[in-house]
Structure 1
Amino acid sequence: MADGERERLLRLVAAHVLEHGVTSLTLRGLAGAVGSNHRMLLYYFGSKEALVGEALRAVGDAWFPGFATAWAALERGEGPLRQDLQDVWSAIAAPGNAPFLRLFFEVFGQAARGDDRWAGVLGDIADWQRPAAARFTREGLAPAAARARATELVALWRGLQMTLLTTGDRTAVDGVQRQALDAFCARVG
């Protein structure tokens, strides 16, 4: 019963933060929005930050599964590197993912301010480099070089995601991404 209630609350919180964001979120306000109380949320999740971190993962898993699928395919190496990388970008930048990207950057900004309560979220964000580095190593790069190229790629994509969100110009952003990916793949191998 307790696991079922925890999962129910997590789904409700995930939907709430996707729609409303987290910047002005309070535990009491969140509890009221999902029909619970702050003590129950603390009981199940330990802290607001832990709850938001889990909610972000739940949002990604439930509403935007293409993210994980594309990253996993990149790591496995199911196709040519250039195509697998393009598939990841297409999954990230899909029009329906805009609410998740807005939430992602909102939380990323708070976590990057150095507040230790968000350290787990930063760890999740940093994990985007892992599948790319694993693939680049399999493509023949030394591990240190593969990690550096993965960092470069993720930084490029994050910048392009922000540009997409702020300009809404999908054609221009996709064009820049294609050109950058061509140059990137030429350097990787």
Structure 2
Amino acid sequence: MTERDRLLHLVAEHVLAHGVTTLTLRGLSRAVGSNNRMLLYYFGSKERLVGEALQAVARDVFPGFENAWTEFENGTGPLEADLRQVWERIADPAHLPFLRLFFEVFGQATAHPGYSGLLGDIASWHRPAVARFVREGMTPATAEDLATELTALWRGLQMTLILTGDHVAVGRVQARSLEAFCARTRTHAGVGTGT
């Protein structure tokens, strides 16, 4: 493991445990046994470091969350069943710590220009859904609109999960919404959108 990878691993552990709202580069460097200059040397800025740490947390600690959309893009099952599987993966109670960190970082990113790269990554998270919808027979424009709609719906429901902790109620709302969503996709898609 390189020194950069070691530091990133330590930073990822720290932000998952403590969040990022009051995070300073000085405090972070003390927490991981390094110094400001070394962190800046490896990562360029606090914002880039936090963005990479968020990705490392998703990749290393919550791979089920990280891989859910890619598996959906490559899936061959009925559309509604495959989407239901994505939701079950990302809404798994074990993923709540990641969701809390994600929305905290997202809030910071919208207020600080140093996070522009991370915001670009977040904005492209619906791309696997677009690719799958196109494969299902939708036009690229329709696929883009529907993937954006679905991502926005699920982000709202994820925030509701964080606020309420009520997986049963949120799951009920999600199931009804997904059923209606998939019914509408059938008017835009070719064969293969059955449930």
In the other structure, the counterpart of 2:29 is 31
Unaligned runs of 5+ in 2: 187-195
Does residue 138 of structure 2 align to residue 144 of structure 1?
no
Code of the aligned partner of 2:178: L
Task: Note the C-alpha offset of 1:171.
Answer: 0.1
Task: Note the C-alpha offset of 1:80.
Answer: 1.2
TM-score, length of structure 2 as denominator length: 0.93
Which of 33, 48, 59 lines up with 2:57 in the alignment?
A: 59
1:61-97 superposed Cα distances (whole Å, 9 cap, x missing partner): 0011112322111111231111111111111111111
Matches within 5 A, 1:109-128: 109-113=107-111, 115-128=112-125
Identity %, equivalent residues: 66
Which of 5, 8, 20 lines up with 1:7 in the alignment?
A: 5
In the other structure, the counterpart of 1:163 is 160
Ranked by relative contact order (alpha carbons within 8 Å, sequence separation 6 or more), the top structure is 2
Root mean square deviation of aligned Cα: 1.0
Code of the aligned partner of 1:154: T
In the other structure, the counterpart of 2:180 is 183
On the 8 A contact 2:65/2:95 being kept in 1, the answer is: no
1:37-59 superposed Cα distances (whole Å, 9 cap, x missing partner): 11100011010001011101100
In the other structure, the counterpart of 2:42 is 44
Does residue 16 of structure 2 align to residue 18 of structure 1?
yes
More helix by share: 1
In the other structure, the counterpart of 2:84 is 86
Instruction: Provide the C-alpha distance between the structure 1 equivalents of 2:48 and 2:66, rounded to a whole number of angstroms.
Output: 21
Instruction: Provide the C-alpha distance between the structure 2 equivalents of 1:145 and 1:186, rounded to a whole number of angstroms.
Output: 14
**Number of positions where the alignment pairs a residue of Structure 1 with one of Structure 2:** 186
